[in-house]
Structures are given as C-alpha cells and as structure tokens.
C-alpha cells in the first residue's frame, strides 16, 4: 500500500453498509493525520464523497479537476468513519488547502470542538 496522506482522495469500497451509510465504491477524503495513517492500526478516517447536491450545509463542494474528480461533487462531513486501508483501491488526487480548511471548519461545528 502506498503512503496515505491527509487531504488525499482515494476510491474506496464501502460495502457492506447499514442504514443511511454511503455505500458502494466511491471517492473518499482522508482526514486522519499522517502519523495515524502510517501507524499500526491499518485504519484511516475518511469522509465519503457524493455527486448529489442535497443542499446539506455540512457538505463541502469540489469542482473538477480538484482531487482527480471528473464531476462536481460534495464531501459529506457528517459521515465520518474509520475504514481499513484494505478498502482503499486507487489514489485519485489531493484537495486544495482551502478545501481541507473548509472541511475542518465543518467538522469543528459538527463535533463541537
């Protein structure tokens, strides 16, 4: 497995899921710090990305070609989860520092930090 870095977008297989969790193979943003990403746990903390604009204020918009995306997409900041690095299939790219800052702002609000 390649080195994993905070701010990268990877294609991940999120199946199986339950309830309202985002399913399928889809791009995800790694938000965990690099020290954790390269640690012994074999996990990363991610946010799934969707191409559907649902008008949810916790979503951060991505415009192609940012992150290697081909269509306008939205980072689902409310859908935080840790996954095995074995679920990561392909590195697509990196988000801009401003995008990562917008994600961090929403996470602070969402989590009361």
Widest CA span in the chain: 38
Beta bridge partners of 43: 84
What residue segments make up the domains of the chain, in order of their start?
A: 8-111
71-106 confidence digits (pLDDT tens): 999 999 999 999 999 999 999 999 999 999 999 999
Higher pLDDT, 2 or 23: 2
| Cβ–Cβ under 8 Å, residues 109 and 60 | no
What pLDDT, on the 0 to 100 scale, is given for residue 102? Answer: 97
What pLDDT, on the 0 to 100 scale, is given for residue 39? Answer: 87
So what CATH class is 8-111?
mainly beta
Whether residue 20 has pLDDT greater than 60: no
Q: How far apart are alpha carbons 5 and 1 in whole angstroms?
A: 12
């Amino acid at each position: 497995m390649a080195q994993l870095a905070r701010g990268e977008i990877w294609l991940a297989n999120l199946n199986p899921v339950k309830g309202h969790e985002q399913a399928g193979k889809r791009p995800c943003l790694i938000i965990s710090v690099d020290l954790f990403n390269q640690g012994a746990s074999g996990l990363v903390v991610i946010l799934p990305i969707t191409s559907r604009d649902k008008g949810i204020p916790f979503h951060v918009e991505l415009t192609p070609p940012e992150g290697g995306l081909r269509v306008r997409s939205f980072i689902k900041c409310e859908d935080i989860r840790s996954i095995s690095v074995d679920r990561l299939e392909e590195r697509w790219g990196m988000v801009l520092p401003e995008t990562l800052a917008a994600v961090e702002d929403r996470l602070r609000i969402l989590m009361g930090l």
